[in-house]
Structure 1
Amino acid sequence: MSDPEIVVSAPGKVILFGEHAVVYGRKAIAASLDLRTQLKIHLIPDSTAVTLELPDISLSNTWQVADLAAAQPTGNVDVKNPSPPSDKYLAALHRLAGTDTDHTDTRTLALLAFLYMYTSIHHTTVRKCPAGRFHAASQLPPGAGLGSSAAYCTALAAGLLTMCNVISRPEGKTWSKEDLEVINAWAFQGEKLIHGNPSGIDNSVSTFGDAISFKSGKISPFESVAALKILLVNTKGPRSTKVLVQGVRDRYNRLPAIMEPILDSIEEISCTCERVLLELGGSPVDGQENTQGKNYQILEELVDICQCLLNALGVGHPSLDQVSSITAKHGLHSKLTGAGGGGCALVLLRPDTAPDVIDKVTAELRDCGYDVWETSIGATGVSQHSQPK
């Protein structure tokens, strides 16, 4: 087996502010998370087989290239502007995956995303997709609302499009803006296969990195963003995003006059966060008073207020209350991130937070059975990590 022809990675994402309110046309802020999914593509000379390995979900499948080539997209496919598979094409992908159209488990969806990208790109390029081994491993827990599927789809798109010369191999770590747009378009189609009707936030953050604002379908990247340190806590509490969203809708329908001001307040938090992050991420001006401490204080207040408002929407959970209680005891501030009802929380860390405080909080949270990572937001988007030899 040869050395890896290409190694790429893509970051996960975290919602800073705006959860649930974004469903009602309010602004949300999302940022890339420095926990990544890495894809290694090994070419195997003279091989006729393609293997996909996803050890995080105990999946390994092998196909013959000829069998993959037989699954052809219906109609014309624009390699730089992909479209969803037709029902006939999707049925062919299910047959390759060894499943029927009723299967929507994690393994099946991961297979479909790979097979869709491989076969579609294979049929729209002069240089066909290679035989070999595709090995993807992630630091992101699946199903935790941290964009694990988007990081997977983004890494797949970047690797396949580069291998097939649809986009140029970057001289450094990342691609041109034009090529990133193509990667993002394919990643979005993969996300649609997995999630049905995604917003496009996760794949955009995974592709471009840094942070974005999102409102009424419009995604706006930040010009610069501070790389904030956080603790990310996975309470591992089972929850259904669909059920939580419907619960907020039911409460809104019962109490619209009360819910509207809550949603407006959450949007104001998002807008304030955007201003603060841009200021923290900007270049210092000579003679300007150092406002870093003030901005971190504002962010901490936003975290506390937003957590209370999200509880008022009905998406809190005792496990998230426990995270808030433990972190507050040590002078830290935390909120849920994502759908709520369990799931994940983020804990804001000031640059001068003492290491022993971080260690104590981490130990207490892990004693509760939670997973904890010390990481940062504002990470680089999809990246290449090695050149072919």
Structure 2
Amino acid sequence: MQVKECIVSAPGKAILHGEHAVVHGKVALAVSLNLRTYLWLKPSSTGKVGINLPNIDTFISWDLSELKQLLHDSCAKTKEVKQLDAELIKRLREFIGVTNGNLDTRTMATLSFLYMYLSLFGSGDLPSLTVTVWSELPTGAGLGSSAAFSVCLASALLSASGAIPTPLKDWDITARWSQEHMELINSWAFQGEMIIHGNPSGVDNAVGTWGGMLRFLSGKIIPLSRVPLLRILLTNTKVPRSTKFPSIMYPVLESVDAISCTCEKTLSDMTSEPITGEHYNVLEELIDINQHHLNVMGVGHTALDTLCSVTLARGLHSKLTGAGGGGCGITLLRPETDCLVIQNTIQDLQSFGFDCWETSIGGPGVQQHSPHSVKEEILEVLNLY
């Protein structure tokens, strides 16, 4: 079986408001982060299947004959998503030499890739191909890097297997799939997340699929149709995240819920009326109040306090995003924020040993690219393999 070459990408994610309160039945807002993971699928004639992960210096390939031996009767090619195939996962774990429950990044990525590849191509002719995956996202920072990987795998392999059509036309530079096809991508990406994380919420892969902003409440995920693209600084304190969460007072959770709902309304207003400084005043105030609440909850950290004080000294407002106890923070940038202010802020943060990126939130989810639409430095990395 011969497959077509394709390049896809999917965004990372950040929690704008509602982290921790969401597990108590309150609203959380998750947004796409315009740091993306890219995957280039190439057909080959080597009789092998390979995966390249330049971010972690990994290249692995297998003979098709080896992989065919892993298939069993229930591995029939299907377009539908079934429950995870426990027998196939068991065979794959043995095949790649997993001896305990602790999987490193390389092993998790390999297991997820082989599971989707064998599940989607089933007992038919397995195609010889190579996928190269490179990400702008740091791993293990709570920014949805594994979900972006799973969404890229799902979209590329579904397209290659013929389960969904290729949306990119000859005259396009980027293209997105229909709602129906994105639902299928999201379902398979969730399977990848289950392999990697065991019991994921589904938020990360949904953000990677649809992009923009999602409202998450009591297990229900609702993509919001219109949100503005907001500039931010993303800072990784490089302090390990902590999910410890002590008992807190109910009024704090109620306030966080109100913050999420007020933010959602403000962002909606920004898409239906002229954007003013008052909109940004509200967003900045919500950021400050939520960060205070998160400290009250006990999920702050001195590194995050440093981030907030450094950015506030330059008139910018920041909060943690995700688990807290370290990890990452986001800083809102107004459209008129001077480039010199941004550069000096980044330098100040880097002086504390933090990593910092100027990026945006609210951008598109998974999409297919023509080679001309991919940044030259990314294309160069992908094309090395």
Same fold (TM over 0.5): yes
Give aligned pairs, total.
365
Deviation at 1:31, TM superposition (A): 0.6
- Match of residue 17 from structure 2: 17
Deviation at 1:64, TM superposition (A): 1.1
- Match of residue 220 from structure 1: 222
Contact map agreement 2:236 2:356 (CA 8 A) in 1: yes
Deviation at 1:85, TM superposition (A): 2.3
2:267 to 265, 272, 277: 277
Secondary structure of the residue aligned to 2:311 is: helix
Can you give the 5+ residue segments of structure 1 that lack an aligned partner in the other structure?
A: 253-257, 285-289
- Match of residue 194 from structure 1: 196
Q: 1:240 to 1:116 in 2, by over 3 A?
A: farther
- Match of residue 131 from structure 2: 134
CA distance in 2, matches of 1:384, 1:133: 17
Percent identity over the alignment? Answer: 47
CA distance in 2, matches of 1:326, 1:372: 13
- Match of residue 157 from structure 2: 160
1:222 corresponds to which letter in structure 2?
A: L
Secondary structure of the residue aligned to 2:201 is: coil
1:277 corresponds to which letter in structure 2?
A: L
1:373 to 336, 357, 371: 357
Deviation at 1:101, TM superposition (A): 4.3
CA distance in 2, matches of 1:66, 1:274: 52
- 5-14 or 75-84, which deviates more: 75-84
Secondary structure of the residue aligned to 1:82 is: coil
- 26-35 or 57-66, which deviates more: 57-66
Deviation at 1:168, TM superposition (A): 0.5
- Match of residue 297 from structure 1: 281
CA distance in 1, matches of 2:268, 2:126: 41
CA distance in 1, matches of 2:147, 2:366: 11
CA distance in 1, matches of 2:253, 2:72: 43
CA distance in 1, matches of 2:66, 2:74: 19
Secondary structure of the residue aligned to 2:155 is: helix
- Match of residue 96 from structure 2: 97
Secondary structure of the residue aligned to 1:67 is: helix
CA distance in 2, matches of 1:74, 1:222: 41
Contact map agreement 2:304 2:320 (CA 8 A) in 1: yes
Contact map agreement 2:8 2:366 (CA 8 A) in 1: yes
- Match of residue 6 from structure 1: 6
2:279 corresponds to which letter in structure 1?
A: N
CA distance in 2, matches of 1:129, 1:271: 48
The alignment's TM-score, normalised by the length of structure 2, stands at 0.91
1:337 corresponds to which letter in structure 2?
A: T
Q: What's the Cα RMSD here?
A: 2.0
Secondary structure of the residue aligned to 2:166 is: coil
Contact map agreement 2:242 2:324 (CA 8 A) in 1: no
For residues 185-221 of structure 1, give each alpha carbon's deviation from its aligned partner in whole angstroms, at most 9, with x where no partner exists. 0000100111111110000000011111000000011
2:267 corresponds to which letter in structure 1?
A: L
Contact map agreement 1:8 1:382 (CA 8 A) in 2: yes
Can you give the 5+ residue segments of structure 2 that lack an aligned partner in the other structure?
A: 373-385
Deviation at 1:3, TM superposition (A): 12
- Match of residue 367 from structure 2: 383
- Match of residue 70 from structure 1: 69
Q: Where do residues 197-208 of structure 1 align in structure 2 (5 Å cutoff)?
A: 197-208=199-210
CA distance in 2, matches of 1:82, 1:178: 17
CA distance in 1, matches of 2:70, 2:102: 19
CA distance in 1, matches of 2:93, 2:260: 41
Deviation at 1:81, TM superposition (A): 2.2
- Which of structure 1's runs of 4+ aligned residues deviate more than 3 A? 73-78
Contact map agreement 1:14 1:337 (CA 8 A) in 2: yes
Secondary structure of the residue aligned to 2:154 is: helix
CA distance in 2, matches of 1:145, 1:203: 13
- 1:182 lines up with 2:184 in the alignment: yes
Q: Where do residues 359-370 of structure 1 align in structure 2 (5 Å cutoff)?
A: 359-370=343-354
Secondary structure of the residue aligned to 1:181 is: helix
Contact map agreement 2:242 2:299 (CA 8 A) in 1: no
Contact map agreement 2:3 2:161 (CA 8 A) in 1: no
Secondary structure of the residue aligned to 1:204 is: helix
CA distance in 1, matches of 2:34, 2:270: 18
Secondary structure of the residue aligned to 1:237 is: coil
Q: 1:215 to 1:41 in 2, by over 3 A?
A: same
CA distance in 1, matches of 2:72, 2:215: 34
2:118 corresponds to which letter in structure 1?
A: T
2:253 corresponds to which letter in structure 1?
A: L
For residues 93-142 of structure 1, give each alpha carbon's deviation from its aligned partner in whole angstroms, at most 9, with x where no partner exists. 11232322434222211111111101111117x6x552121110000000
CA distance in 1, matches of 2:328, 2:29: 16
CA distance in 1, matches of 2:185, 2:3: 24
Q: 1:90 to 1:118 in 2, by over 3 A?
A: same
Deviation at 1:73, TM superposition (A): 5.7
CA distance in 2, matches of 1:278, 1:68: 49
1:39 corresponds to which letter in structure 2?
A: L
Secondary structure of the residue aligned to 2:163 is: coil
Q: Where do residues 18-37 of structure 1 align in structure 2 (5 Å cutoff)?
A: 18-37=18-37
Secondary structure of the residue aligned to 2:365 is: coil
CA distance in 1, matches of 2:93, 2:184: 25
- 1:146 lines up with 2:136 in the alignment: no
- Match of residue 255 from structure 1: none
- Match of residue 375 from structure 2: none
CA distance in 1, matches of 2:251, 2:328: 25
- Match of residue 381 from structure 2: none
For residues 265-288 of structure 1, give each alpha carbon's deviation from its aligned partner in whole angstroms, at most 9, with x where no partner exists. 111100011101111123x4xxxx
Deviation at 1:58, TM superposition (A): 2.1
CA distance in 1, matches of 2:217, 2:334: 28
Deviation at 1:61, TM superposition (A): 1.0
